[in-house]
Amino acid sequence: MQKNINLLSTLFGILCIYLLSYAFARVFIFHAVERYAGAEGKGYPRQDYIAKKDRPAGEGWQYQLFLPAIKAEEGIVNYFHNL
């Protein structure tokens, strides 16, 4: 029982550190890019994606490290923008 509690608290600590690191990287390394798939007012809805500043999406080790958090954030943002 104690091992399970220690394991859960360790995993929770790692998750918190990961999310705090992503928040820091999101402010200083990444930025959101808006993309519209057609003429304004026509076509597909807006799509946002996150990329390293001055680089295309998917480039750099930081992007690969935080890919799960980036995809979760993009999914949440796209859901609310396309309601």
Question: pLDDT tens, position by position, for the chain (83 residues)?
Answer: 788 889 999 999 999 999 999 999 888 888 777 666 666 656 566 656 677 777 777 777 888 888 899 889 888 887 887 77
Could you tell me the residue ranges of all domains in the chain? 2-81
Give the CA count within 13 Å in the CB-facing half-sphere of 71: 6
Give the CA count within 13 Å in the CB-facing half-sphere of 47: 8
42: Cβ–Cβ under 8 A, 6 or more apart, which residues?
Answer: none
Q: What is the pTM of this model?
A: 0.70
Q: How far apart are CA 82 and CA 60, in angstroms?
A: 29
